[in-house]
Chain A
Amino acid sequence: MGRLNEKVSYWMLVAPALTIMIVFYILPVLGIWEIAFTEPTTGVDNFVKMAESSAVKTSFVLTFRVAAITTLGCLLLGYIVAYSISNFANKFTPLMLALVILPFWVSVLIRSFSWIVLLGRSGLVNDTLRDTGIIDSPLRLMHNEFGVLIAMIHVMLPFAILPMMTNMRGISDAYVKAARGLGASEWTAFWNVYFPQTIPGVMSGALLVFVLSLGFYVTPALLGGGRVLMISEYITYQIQEFLNWGLGSALSVGLLVATALVLLIASRFINLRSALLERK
């Protein structure tokens, strides 16, 4: 009896969130799948069209490339930040941490617009360079992949820093000290002893950034200016401009499957449970 009550109360606790997820998320997603297979005709026409379209292929390749470069950039910059905060910040740790988290309080839209102000034809960067005589005509800093990447790396950086930092803060300084005491130089101690212990954090940061980047919309749409068509923007075009609900939905399904595949492949190499849930 007690057992049963426990189960009932457990489900009661989960029920509100679960209901909201089912009604507002899972059912609509299923609806998308349905549209993908029924609009305008029933069958796999949309998927055949998708597979044959070179534009779709280009967009998928671009999406994966941007996500991969963003991930690399975030890991490189994020590792340095996370390492500094974990090992050297001491009393400044709360301040540094606040600075990492601060961007979350500003909408992605505003952050992306800020990059337009900086990178535009007569943006801050171009104006400064021109005024100092370094360049004659403005550089193309946005409405291309370069602009998208800069802004994407900026937006995604906290997602790389936080898991890596959580991981690094759990590593006792005794290991590096031990390595030095046993004769290793600073670099050897870092590379052979410290770095291998941070790989779980690096992996979970990488996965987080990569998966989020695959489906990212706002920043590529604004900074790409319609010239860097990542898959989520491509879907928007299909639905908003061409009212092509069938192909748009099929592309969504494609993106979802692609993301699931990434997670599946990643799970063969890293422990997803500890990478994404426990953050160790």
Chain B
Amino acid sequence: MSTPILSIRQGIKRYGSVHALDDVTLDVADGEFLTLLGPSGSGKTTLLSAIAGFIRLDEGSISLRSKDITKQPPEARDFGMVFQGYALFPTMTVAENVAFPLKVRKRPAKEIADRVAECLDLVQMGAFADRLPIQLSGGQQQRVALARALSFHPQVLLLDEPLSALDKKLRADLQWELKALHDRLGVTFIYVTHDQEEALSMSDRIVILKDGKIQQEGAPGDLYNKPRNAFVADFLGKSNFIDVTVTGREGDVLSCAADGAKFEVEAETPVEVGTKTKVALRPERLRLGAPGEEFLSAKVKQVSYLGERCQVIVTHDSLGELLLSCATWKTGITPKPDLPVSIGWDKDACVVLAPE
């Protein structure tokens, strides 16, 4: 990574005995779309608030382009911010809202007017300049909030669950737009969400938090395919977890045994023979076949039809229940409850997890 635009070093924030942020160290690259992802209480909003300057870290430091800003008040940091619930000022029109950051920066009136028009056009809200926020729909308010946050050319845009109040369809549309806007403007986005789909679809990099600690960070594909621990494997998408004992090793390939079921796993990190560990297996990597076709025999327990895919819960004598996801358009067997089937997977489908 070239010089990061924003660096957090050993950030700690305590509320009583609870660590809201526990030794967080993070670099944000210039122009990056970074997502802080985690369940509620994971510290993602605390981290964003610390970056924005609304809360002061107990320990550690934050720097912007190598300049220490740990003790700066929020207004001195020059970050754009889109709030959960938008926080558009209800007594101001759309245009006045967008002009606000420029007015407090005492820019000339002409420049303000031009920039407001430009920003409203950017989010396709030019026609609504004279409306009050209360007269807009949720999606429109979201766009205005975005225009307001961008109007003063901030170096970094902070977004706190900006889409969480919108319905699913609109959320999906705005995800595309946000991503396009990011690519067009080249501004660094730091985006907080608890929605893993949102994180996967937009981010250049995702940071997964739990209990104030960074669990793993990386590109969406890396995190999805190579989760480091069970929390990440379960939080980002769905996973089956199998407790295994490593019985043999040949290069990268481990032989694993789990209560009589034997299979092979490709591991990037070396694991000693005899180790007991946990592997994660994505539902879509499981194959479903007629009895005898794959290497483990099982029985269908339940089927859930989702349109383009269907999810199947199968039971195996020693592995217990496994979730399997298969395309519905594929010909072959049609899973039904109590149908005897066989299941299998490729040896690169399993990921060996580190203990949490």
Contacts and interface: CB of A to CB of B under 8 A. Distances in A.
Contact of A174 (B73, B87, B100, B158): B87
B100 A179 contact: yes
B81 A197 contact: no
Chain A, interface SS category:
helix
Contact of A181 (B52, B85, B92): B52
Contacts of A193: 89, 91, 100
B74 A175 contact: no
19 contacts: A172-B87, A175-B90, A177-B54, A177-B74, A178-B87, A179-B100, A180-B73, A180-B74, A180-B75, A181-B83, A182-B75, A184-B100, A184-B101, A192-B100, A192-B104, A193-B91, A196-B89, A196-B92, A197-B91
B44 interface: no
Nearest to B100: A182
B105 interface: yes
Contacts of B74: 177, 180-181
A183 B83 contact: no
A220 B87 CA distance: 46
A122 interface: no
B210 interface: no
Interface string B105-131: 100000000000000000000000000
Contacts of B191: none
Contact of B80 (A182, A184, A188, A197): A182
B148 interface: yes
B78 interface: yes
Most buried by B among A177, A179, A180, A182: A182
B89 A179 contact: yes
A175 B75 contact: no
Interface residues of B, number: 26
A181 B91 contact: no
Contacts of A274: none
Given A180-B75, A184-B75, A185-B104, A174 B91 contact: no
Given A192-B100, A193-B89, A182 B73 contact: no
Contacts of A182: 75, 80-81, 100-101, 104, 148-149, 152
Contacts of A184: 75, 100-101, 104
Contacts of B91: 193, 196-197
B79 interface: yes
Contact of A175 (B87, B148, B149): B87
Contact of B101 (A172, A174, A183, A197): A183
A174 B89 contact: no
A197 to B, nearest CB: 6
A177 B152 contact: no
Given A179-B100, A182-B104, 4 more contacts: A178-B87, A181-B74, A183-B101, A196-B91
Contacts of B78: 183
Nearest to A180: B74
Contacts of A178: 81, 83, 87, 89
A271 to B, nearest CB: 14
Interface in B11-68: 52-54
A175 B86 CA distance: 9
Most buried by A among B73, B87, B152, B158: B87
Contacts of B100: 179, 182, 184, 192-193
Contacts of A179: 89, 100, 104
